Structure 1
């Protein structure tokens, strides 16, 4: 009876978003994550991209502080430091690599394509970790998904006049997020933080980093325009709270490889965003690439389910 009551109380006190099916969370993740590239493109016309990133992180810190202050005070120094380090890699490292690459002349579509190689980067890092091994079915799914991503973004596979080294920045950003993701999966329950305090801490670290960077470049005070306000609000609410929030929620409910593979679908959704927002054309090749990416994600999900079933049989 006590066990039943404990389980019932546990389910009652779980946040509503923790009770959503994983597929719903993953669909929301793809939508929110892809919105970031549209927000970055839109903001370039109104302010330096990294200045917009600074203000979106600062805004989130101000809004969330009253709701997370108690949890932050009660957290241990070890938990704060570890989650701040994860946030620095996941948010500061990833956004700096992608946005700075675009600012230095890397075509936005190609930067997004390089950043969307996260599943492959994650898989390669996983292979060097002790006790971790991906099955050939997972590799097949990752490879299939990558082919789909390349087909979707084929028109973006053109080089600009930017120096060659700048093309490494989106890849470095992708690698930074991959490291943060694997670090997060290795955290002990004692050092894990709830979603909103964790998100606040990551935004605070990023706001400091981008604030220092922009102070060297010029003023932190932008020219106030309606376009800038829309950019900051859009990227703060949808891309950061929605995108990163759902990323960490999905990671808590699933494997790092599955979560990363789902992001193979973000290039196609980004193109739909661009069609709605900027009237950019769509093509049948994009549709074919999207279908191949969906097939790749399905292969990964199915392979991990079979792997989990095999582990359960072996443990019995």
Structure 2
């Protein structure tokens, strides 16, 4: 009888295909947030929309937590191990990062300008990954990150500088980007052993409490009528694609690759969102935008081509050292 190959024995080609599939799904799901924002602002305020997209998930989150954290007999009622980290990650991702990006556009920052600021994340993630996580970021990876940033700037060049926002509004997407970098580094440095559904449930509850409290305090938490189909379609869009799909895949891909490489995938989300907008709203794609998309793809390819070569080299070295027989 033959035993199935262990994780260590798995073919690097098979592993690469799995990572590629997860990465592609992540890019599509993550970019859907731009479309959700565009749909939602047609029927509701930003704060109200950001509150409802998490509030509707609260019952599901509570059920998941009640199943995954059954208390053991004769144990204290302390917070389960790892929950504090997930509360912090929830504040960084579901609150600060999301609000920073959406609020900047609400206060007049151009969508393209906000996208370029958010696209600084891979460069900053790579820099901190080499310092905090001791990840070895090679020259080819730095080159790929730089090329990707240029590609994003080209793709949104028509919108750069658009808008009449006050100077402080440009800090909002910057702080939102830093929040996502911080959450990425926290999860990469101390990978949680809790189930992904449990971690995401905690993050959702944290975001729902914060956004809900602020919306109620400011009088913006309004329950739309059930007949407002566009609003509820937007909420469902956020729940299925952006939260359940986007954030789940973000942490899964991070666990399988590295902070630098999952950050590089962010470069592909603005071009993907542009294609979404072209298909759904009839937005135009000019020549310079398409060239920018190609440059972005080249930059991300440089990062992942190097990582693939490194992985294959490591596997070959491991096989060479393994005992025979």
Task: Please report the TM-score for the alignment, with normalisation by the length of structure 1.
Answer: 0.88
Q: CA shift at 1:62, angstroms?
A: 1.9
Structure 1: tracts of 5 or more residues without a match: 12-17
Structure 2: distance between partners of 1:280 and 1:130: 41
Within the candidate set 89, 93, 102, 2:92 is matched to: 89
Aligned: 1:30 with 2:30: no
* Deviations 1:64-95, CA, capped at 9 Å, x for gaps: 43344221345963311111211211221210
Whether the 8 Å contact between 1:118 and 1:174 is mirrored in structure 2 is yes
Q: CA shift at 1:309, angstroms?
A: 5.3
Cross-structure match for 1:55 = 52
Within the candidate set 47, 72, 77, 2:69 is matched to: 72
Aligned: 1:213 with 2:210: no
Matches within 5 A, 1:116-135: 116-129=119-132, 131-135=134-138
Structure 2: distance between partners of 1:289 and 1:130: 31
* Deviations 1:151-207, CA, capped at 9 Å, x for gaps: 11111202422111111111111110011001001115xx42211111111111111
Cross-structure match for 2:223 = 222
Whether the 8 Å contact between 1:37 and 1:112 is mirrored in structure 2 is no
RMSD: 2.7
Structure 1: distance between partners of 2:197 and 2:219: 31
* Deviations 1:100-157, CA, capped at 9 Å, x for gaps: 1122221233223322322112112224326334211110000011111111111120
Identify which range, 68-77 or 207-216, moves more after superposition. 68-77
Whether the 8 Å contact between 1:83 and 1:192 is mirrored in structure 2 is no
Whether the 8 Å contact between 2:29 and 2:241 is mirrored in structure 1 is yes
Aligned: 1:197 with 2:198: yes
Matches within 5 A, 1:42-191: 42-73=39-70, 77-129=80-132, 131-188=134-191, 191=192
Q: CA shift at 1:7, angstroms?
A: 5.3
Select the structure of larger CA radius of gyration.
2
Structure 2: distance between partners of 1:7 and 1:262: 28
SS at 1:264 equivalent: helix
Count of aligned pairs between the two proteins: 305
Structure 2: tracts of 5 or more residues without a match: 72-77
* Deviations 1:194-226, CA, capped at 9 Å, x for gaps: 111111111111111111221222142233322
Instruction: Compare the two structures and name the one with the higher helix fraction.
Output: 1
Whether the 8 Å contact between 1:30 and 1:263 is mirrored in structure 2 is yes
Task: Please report the TM-score for the alignment, with normalisation by the length of structure 2.
Answer: 0.85
Structure 1: distance between partners of 2:16 and 2:201: 22
Structure 1: distance between partners of 2:211 and 2:102: 11
